[in-house]
Amino acid sequence: MGKFCQSCGMPLKKDPQGGGTEVDGARSTTYCSYCYDKGTFLHPDATLREFQAECVKAMQRDGLPKPLAWLFTRGMPQLGRWKT
């Protein structure tokens, strides 16, 4: 589906695990390991807005300034997981 996680938008090449995993253990080419494991989302009940806030917090913990982290989450509504 692309070169970016379809849940959080992170470039899949930046994922230290190389992507999330499917139920059968295969590497996902759609979702990163921060969002998806063993065929399920790690935050299954989160709304888009809640998940955006979590992503901003995670990027801040990694040293990114809040305005830049917020900017990186603005495209999330267009990702596969969140499109309706």
Provide the domain count of the chain. 1
Q: What is the pLDDT of residue 1?
A: 46
pTM score of the predicted model: 0.89
Q: Could you list the residue range(s) of the whole structural domain that residue 74 is in?
A: 12-78
Give the phi and the psi of residue 37 in degrees, each rounded to 5.
-150, 130
2 is a domain residue? no
As given in the structure block, the two tokens for residue 74 are 């603005």
| Alpha helix positions (H), the chain | 48-61, 66-72
Does residue 62 lie in a domain region?
yes
Determine, yes or no, domain membership for 6.
Answer: no
In a domain, 74, yes or no: yes
Mean pLDDT (10-residue bins), the chain, 84 residues: 87 94 96 97 96 96 96 96 89
* pLDDT for the residue numbered 84: 74
On whether residue 58 sits in a domain, the answer given is yes
Q: State how far the alpha carbon of 7 is from the alpha carbons of 29, 59, in Å.
A: 12, 15
